[in-house]
């Protein structure tokens, strides 16, 4: 009795299919574990970027704390029904934030 190997997804590049076909079962399991973790990481980064892009952004004032770059903007985040200002900027593929203070409802 002969078993047929699984068919690769049609959208998977052939160089990846070829490399996987040559891999040992142990390497395939390691690759599957790594691919799953990498996919989760990339999805999380995309969500963070989308959240940063969707955040309520105000114009950046001239005076910045020493550890906040000039390209930073001020965002408003709501946490437990309270609103807070945060400095926010991109550092490579990472979105960084630093607490600025509470939003004054009288503004």
Question: 32, 23 in Cβ contact below 8 A?
Answer: no
In this structure, are 48 and 88 located in the same domain? no
Kindly give the residue spans of alpha helices, DSSP state H, lying in the chain.
14-22, 25-54
The pLDDT, as a whole number, for residue 62 is: 54
- Report pTM: 0.46
**Could you tell me the CA-to-CA distances from 56 to 9, 83, 94, 101 in Å, in that order?**
40, 11, 18, 15
The pLDDT, as a whole number, for residue 60 is: 47
Q: What is the mean pLDDT of each run of 10 residues along the chain (107 residues)?
A: 85 94 95 90 83 58 75 86 88 88 76
In this structure, are 101 and 62 located in the same domain? yes
**Structural tokens at position 92:** 């490579």
| Max Cα distance, the chain (Å) | 78
In this structure, are 74 and 96 located in the same domain? yes
Task: Indicate the number of domains in the chain.
Answer: 2
């Amino acid at each position: 009795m002969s078993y047929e190997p699984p068919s690769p997804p049609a959208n998977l590049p052939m160089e990846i299919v070829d490399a996987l076909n040559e891999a040992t079962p142990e390497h395939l399991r390691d690759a599957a574990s790594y691919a799953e973790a990498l996919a989760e990481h990339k999805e999380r980064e995309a969500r963070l970027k989308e959240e940063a892009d969707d955040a309520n952004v105000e114009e950046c004032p001239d005076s910045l704390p020493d550890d906040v770059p000039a390209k930073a903007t001020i965002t408003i985040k709501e946490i437990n029904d309270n609103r807070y200002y945060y400095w926010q900027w991109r550092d490579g593929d990472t979105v960084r934030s630093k607490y600025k203070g509470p939003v004054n409802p009288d503004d």
